[in-house]
Amino acid sequence: METHLTILLAAFVLDWYVGEPKFLWHKISHPVAWFGRLIEFLDQRMNHPSNNDETQYRNGAIAWFLMVLLALVAGLILQWLIGFLWPAAGWLVEVFIVSIFLAQKSLKDHVSAVATALRSEGVEGGRREIAKIVGRDPEELDASAICRAAIESLAENFSDGVVAPAFWYAIFGLPGLFVYKMINTADSMIAHRNEKYLHFGRVAAQADDLANWIPARLSAKMIILGAWLASGFNSARIALDSSMSDAGLHSSPNAGWPEAAMAGALGVSLGGARHYGNETVFLPHLNASGKMSLDTQDISNALRIFTYASYLTWTSVVIILVVFQVAG
């Protein structure tokens, strides 16, 4: 585990300052895209509308098992192959692999782009940029709703895209990282609460809830501490109160934790109505007493808290490494 933590720390730094090698993805697909193709393949062949609910559920469970099994095998094989490399080369390869599964820089850049477009181009520019990171209908969003969507995405993906993959890699290495990313990708693709996926995607949704249970709560703690560093004790106190009282209001058992913490830290209200095509979803407001009309300064403040929360996550890795050294 000490080796995993050392590699993870280096991967955090590499991802934060360098980010993903986009030139490489023009030549080969990102591994998550491979996961997506596998999920789509199984979905097309096993998810038949003519099946009854029980069969749909069974087929979805089998499909999920196959996805996760293949991710586990891929992680084990890759970890085994790296073991044949010269130690320093193997270490560098693994740092690179872990870094491409982290989303610090890409998340920061995408959310920053929303604020920049809103300031320079107005609502149309903001809608264009927010459509790249959320699934809700951008044409239904005004400037305040665009800011709210960006902040919600930043908070939720801090958990799903930073803390969770780091958590599972630290414990189980590349197999744990690959399995988590497959679970999370499956949730985003086949765990929708609609007629097509209600039963077929139920296991995928339940597995994602379980995989993110601890990371979501850890991410909320990092946001609360980040708020303390960014804005002082009172901001952190409100973030803590909001996360404890409002996290359970969210439709997800996990997303409410980082979102409620961020809402309290910023003194804003998150949640409310969301439009997905012809469907409107009404979510309770998190930190309902907070400011309802958001602007780009709120996005900037959220990015500042995100930065501190990310640094604190790195610091946590360092502390755990020191504890291992002392205990050893």
Mean pLDDT (whole number) for 56-68: 97
4-13, 29-38, 216-225 — which is least confidently predicted?
29-38
What are the pLDDT digits (tens) for 139-182? 889 999 999 999 999 999 999 999 999 999 999 999 999 999 99
> Which tokens belong to 71?
């991710």
What are the pLDDT digits (tens) for 292-315? 999 999 999 999 999 999 999 999
Mean pLDDT (whole number) for 126-140: 90
Judge whether residue 223 has pLDDT over 90: yes
Number of helical (H) and strand (E) elements in the chain, helices listed first: 14, 2
Identify each DSSP E strand in 242-322 by its residue range.
270-276, 279-286
What are the pLDDT digits (tens) for 105-117? 999 999 999 999 9
Give yes or no for a contact between 159 and 255, defined as CB atoms under 8 angstroms apart.
yes
Question: What DSSP state is assigned to residue 20?
Answer: -
Distance from C-alpha of 217 to C-alpha of 225, rounded to nearest angstrom: 13
Distance from C-alpha of 102 to C-alpha of 219, rounded to nearest angstrom: 14
Residue 212 DSSP SS3: coil
Helix residue ranges per DSSP H, the chain: 2-17, 22-25, 31-46, 53-82, 87-100, 104-121, 123-130, 143-158, 164-190, 202-211, 213-231, 233-246, 256-266, 296-327
Instruction: Tell me the whole-structure pTM to 2 decimals.
Output: 0.94
